C-alpha cells in the first residue's frame, strides 16, 4: 500500500510517518518507482509506537530502545518487554513516592486539627 492508505490505516498523518522514518523508528520501505510501498507490519509498528507514547514513553526513549535492533518486521518483542518492565518499575517508584507524600499530608492535617 502507498503512504496515503498506510496513514489512514495507522491513524496518523503522512508527515508523522515520514518523521518516524527519519528518526529510525520505521525502516526504509520498499519502493515502486518513486513511491513508498508499505505492508501491514508498518501499520502494526506505528500502532505500537502510539501505544507506547500513550503509556508515557517519549519518541526519544522508544528510539533509544530500538537502537541497534532489527525493526524491519516491527518492534522486537524483547524491546517491548524491556520497555514495559522499565516503565512498570518507574510507575512503582512514583506510586511509592506519592504514597509517602500522601502520608505526610495526612500527618500535617492531623497536626493542624490538634
pLDDT digits (tens, 9 = 90+) for 16-73: 999 999 998 898 898 999 999 998 889 989 998 998 888 888 899 888 888 887 777 7
Fold of 3-113: Multidrug-efflux Transporter Regulator; Chain: A; Domain 2 (1.10.1660)
pLDDT digits (tens, 9 = 90+) for 96-114: 999 999 999 999 999 998 8
Which cell numbers in the block locate residue 33?
Answer: 518507482
Those residues with Cβ within 8 angstroms of residue 6's Cβ, 6 or more apart along the chain or in another chain: 17, 38, 42, 43
Q: Tell me how far apart the alpha carbons of residues 75 and 1 are, in angstroms, rounded to a whole number.
A: 20
Q: Tell me how far apart the alpha carbons of residues 109 and 105 are, in angstroms, rounded to a whole number.
A: 6
For the chain, what are the domain ranges? 3-113
Amino acid at each position: 500500500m502507498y503512504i496515503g492508505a498506510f496513514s489512514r490505516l495507522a491513524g496518523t498523518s503522512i508527515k508523522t510517518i515520514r518523521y518516524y522514518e527519519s528518526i529510525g523508528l520505521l525502516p526504509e520501505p520498499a519502493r515502486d518507482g518513486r513511491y513508498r510501498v508499505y505492508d501491514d507490519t508498518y501499520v502494526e509498528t506505528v500502532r505500537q509506537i502510539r501505544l507506547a507514547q500513550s503509556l508515557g514513553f517519549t519518541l526519544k526513549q522508544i528510539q533509544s530502545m530500538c537502537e541497534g535492533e532489527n525493526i524491519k518486521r516491527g518492534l522486537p518483542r524483547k524491546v517491548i518487554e524491556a520497555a514495559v518492565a522499565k516503565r512498570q518499575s518507574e510507575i512503582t517508584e512514583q506510586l511509592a513516592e506519592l504514597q509517602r507524600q500522601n502520608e505526610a499530608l495526612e500527618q500535617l492535617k492531623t497536626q493542624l486539627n490538634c
